[in-house]
Chains A and B, each alone.
Chain A
């Protein structure tokens, strides 16, 4: 079974600074997807960024970027120029390829989450 581990229960950053959230995962599959979701106090889960395992290039979405290390099974999220609105719980999630015939069809496996506080 796939597992996702976020070893940082809480992180904090000063506004305009950069912060990196860590995520590691365990899988025997070679083709899969990784995601970072953000859950602000409103509890609405929002997709931040996606990485496809077969792509070596790290995904980037504006101020959000990832450092994907497939061999190390590591998938960290870097938030640049942090803003007060970035304060939230961040979840790392894994999903196997839907056409792979594997057991993780359609299923997201989440990490425990990291609470990010942004100080003004």
Chain B
């Protein structure tokens, strides 16, 4: 595997279900991110993890719970979601460094549908 991978690619869940999204980066990066992409809205940053520590939580509802067990893996645990949470969830990683672009590399996304 290369780059950033995400599983599953598609997920349909009921509002009472609990599921998890998984992201894995194979780039040796030290920061990972969750973004939400809804129709007709800009990408919204949800969470940032830097060296496994959460450095940003963009006022995300508690029904979304991130977990970063190491610098290569990132999870997004989902429970009691609402239909408006249906969206494409993108994971990204980057190398945090003193100088440099720190470009973020994205995974293919998980298309989530909440019924």
Contacts and interface: CB of A to CB of B under 8 A. Distances in A.
A98 B48 contact: no
Given A106-B56, A106-B94, A107-B56, A43 B101 contact: no
Interface in B46-61: 48, 50, 55-56
B56 to A, nearest CB: 6
A45 B108 CA distance: 7
Contact of A91 (B33, B43, B96, B102): B43
A106 B42 contact: no
Given A106-B31, A107-B48, A112 B102 contact: no
B45 interface: yes
A44 B106 CA distance: 7
A111 to B, nearest CB: 6
B40 to A, nearest CB: 8
A99 interface: yes
Nearest to B41: A112
Interface string A18-60: 0000000000000001010100001111110010100000000
A50 B101 CA distance: 8
15 contacts: A33-B102, A37-B106, A44-B107, A45-B92, A47-B104, A91-B42, A105-B56, A106-B31, A106-B33, A106-B56, A107-B56, A108-B43, A108-B92, A111-B42, A112-B41
| Cβ-closest 4 pairs across A and B | A45-B106, A110-B43, A110-B42, A99-B98
Interface of A: 4, 33, 35, 37, 42-47, 50, 52, 91, 95, 98-99, 105-113
